[in-house]
Amino acid sequence: MKIIPTQTKDDMASAAAEIFAEQISTKPDSVLGLATGETPRELYKSLIEKHDAGDLDFSKISSFNLDEYVGLPKDHDQSYNWYMRDALFNHVNIADDNWHVPDGTATDLEAEGRAYDERIKEYGGVDLQLLGIGVNGHIAFNEPDSSFPLGTHPVDLTPSTIEVNSQYFATPEEMPTKALTMGIGSIFNADRIVLIASGPSKADILYDAFFGPVTPKIPASILQMHKDVTLIADEEALRVIREKGAL
């Protein structure tokens, strides 16, 4: 694993944007794995700026998002489908048929999950996967569990995730309690993974995930076994890793 420490959240976004821009320039038909949450917003802004400056062409790029809330229609402003259009897709020249977000309104969620994994395979697999991390160590919506789930599947969200994410909904009751998420296996298949993290709330979990035991109780810990993972984090998020002398 490689760690890129940055002073600020903005620097974290710029460093991650450089890696994504290089990937897109080097392989214009790359398959990107994309993430939602607060952490990637500046990274997406930076990619839009590079696109506007004529430096990035998304016309042959395709993408697969990690997850979606169950039950939220695409046009709910807290759906991840909406988030991605708002944060990136509406502002770059990616083809409409080429970006994918799991459908959380599917009647058969298991079947939607299997079809999603098949589509990723048809596109040749993910070249570069972006990840954030939840305060409980979740990646995508793979919550702490007794085993590592493989494919895209429906999950019950934990009380910790519901508490953190309900702040974005008009009322906490609107926050879905289930999601459809790529599994650890789907994520692990990516050739290269970049995990971004920012702020003090991620400091403990980053140490546990990257320097503690590999366990499904901390889903992100499986990344220690992947061949090409880069962690880009600001100093607040790296505090515990520094204190324990791991960096």
138 carries an active-site annotation? yes
The 148-177 site mask, x for binding ligand GLP (CB under 6 A), equals -------------x---x------------
Burial string for 195-233 (b: 16+ CB within 10 Å, else e) reads bbbbeeebbebbbbbbbeeebbebbbbbbeebeebbbbb
- Cβ within 8 Å of residue 4, ≥6 positions away: 15, 230, 231, 232, 233
Q: Is 177 helix (H, G, I), strand (E, B) or coil?
A: coil
Q: Does 67 bind ligand GLP (CB under 6 A)?
A: yes
Of the candidate spans 24-32, 34-42, 185-193, 235-243, the one that interacts with ligand GLP by CB under 6 A turns out to be 34-42
Catalytic residue, chosen from 42, 51, 65, 67, is: 67
- Is residue 35 near ligand GLP by the rule CB under 6 A? yes
Among 66, 109, 175, 209, binds ligand GLP (CB under 6 A): 66
**Residue closer to ligand GLP (CB basis): 81 or 165:** 165
Burial label, 151 (beta-carbon count in 10 A; 0-12, 13-18, 19+): middle
- Among positions 6, 30, 36, 63, the unique one binding ligand GLP when judged by CB under 6 A: 36
**H-type alpha helices, the chain:** 9-26, 41-52, 80-87, 109-122, 159-165, 184-188, 203-211, 239-243
- CB-neighbour burial class of residue 181 (10 A; exposed 0-12, middle 13-18, buried 19+): buried
Cβ nearer to ligand GLP, comparing 61 with 196:
196
Q: Is 245 exposed, middle or buried (0-12, 13-18, 19+ CB in 10 A)?
A: exposed
Q: Is 37 in the site for ligand GLP (CB under 6 A)?
A: yes
Instruction: Tell me how far, at minimum, the Cβ of 130 lies from ligand GLP, in Å.
Output: 9
Catalytic annotation present for 67: yes
Could you give the string, one character per residue 122-151, with x where binding to ligand GLP holds by CB under 6 A and - elsewhere? ----------xxx-----xx----------
| Residue 220, token pair as written in the block | 């992100």
Considering the complex, what minimum distance in angstroms separates the CB of residue 44 from ligand GLP? 12
Instruction: Just list the catalytic residues.
Output: 67, 136, 138, 143
| Interacting residue ranges for ligand GLP, rule: CB under 6 A | 35-39, 66-67, 132-134, 140-141, 161, 165
